[in-house]
Amino acid sequence: MQSIHKSLAKITAVASAVPADVMTNFDLEKIIDTNDKWIVERTGIHQRHIAKQGETTSTIVAAACKEILASTNTNPLDIDLIIVATITPDMMLPATACLVQDLIGAKNAWGFDLSIACSGFLYALQVAAQFVHNGTHKNVLVAGCDVMSSIIDYTDRQTCIIFGDGGGAALIQPSVLENDGVFLDFVHEIDGSGGKYLCIPAGGSLRPTTNETLANRMHYVHQDGATVFKFATRKMTEVCNKILERNNLTANDIDVFIPHQANKRIIDYVTDKMNFNPDKVIVNIGEYGNTTAGTLPLALKTAIDTNRLARGDLLLLATMGAGFTAGACLIKW
């Protein structure tokens, strides 16, 4: 039996992809009782990208993955594993990872989907890191992407103003050196008692599709905004504090903070509560809205493209979402 050489894991490349079509707040004013000023004040969102017919989670993810393969000169046949974090698969069966594998020509890879909504990309990163840590995989593609317009009720102004489509991907590989951009620590939590406050009530085994569920619009995202806001502000602060404390760090030690882009008010609350320098916080919700599993890779790419993330920086990622879920990850970039 071949021996397994354990190694540290690192993110070696990041790419993002979004549909070309944009829906602004002014576009929303034409279809629902809302206005740009109200949306910006409540969420910080000015626009969101919306997929057109034929654009799906698999095609968006494949675009990001192809960019990574090209930029790193990686042969798709060398990819070992593909993990797609999404709650909007192209279809319930097969897994979106299977479709992505075929689209990018990664014939030797296995893969699967990870369905945990907004925390999906962060959780998938840790799954990928474990396969690299234990020495069984050298090239893992992790994607976070959602086409939220496919599950949003555009007659419900509580949800339709928030969400957009898009996401990105990252390549996880062994780290050559101990201090060469490695995963340092993570904290993940779930609280299933909060599941009812942010969910799609029908379409699963509890409430299969019927004329009644369709008539009652139960196949769209339903959200208790006040409860979700309270959980998000409390839990994102808690997981950030927990990971800093157990690594003997303070907010001043963090060079870049990338929070889940759920709502600008949530981001501002956590930034203030944690005493993070606002200049170190990556915020792009105004351009993309909440893309659920796609927000962290999109924000990570924004940090790279704007030269706000440099080699050796201490990076903190944090998230919360339906489930309820929460998590934080500490990375030496």
Contact 6, 135 (CB under 8 A): yes
Rg (CA), the chain: 19
Neighbours of 150 (CB within 10 A): 15
What are the angstrom distances between the C-alpha of 33 and each of 44, 219, 222, 224, 308? Answer: 18, 22, 18, 19, 38
- Spot the catalytic one: 133, 260, 263, 329: 260
For the question of residue 145 being annotated catalytic, the response is no
Token output for 255: 């060079």
Token output for 328: 């934080």
Q: Is the peptide bond before 89 cis (omega within 30 degrees of 0)?
A: no
Contact 139, 80 (CB under 8 A): yes
How far apart, in whole angstroms, are the C-alpha atoms of residue 310 and residue 332?
10
How far apart, in whole angstroms, are the C-alpha atoms of residue 98 and residue 190?
27
Q: Is 154 exposed, middle or buried (0-12, 13-18, 19+ CB in 10 A)?
A: middle
Token output for 101: 């594998």
For the question of residue 260 being annotated catalytic, the response is yes
- Spot the catalytic one: 25, 139, 263, 290: 290
For the question of residue 98 being annotated catalytic, the response is no
- Spot the catalytic one: 65, 98, 118, 145: 118
Q: What is the DSSP letter of 35?
A: -
Q: What are phi and psi for residue 246, nearest 5 degrees? A: -75, -10
Catalytic residues: 118, 260, 290
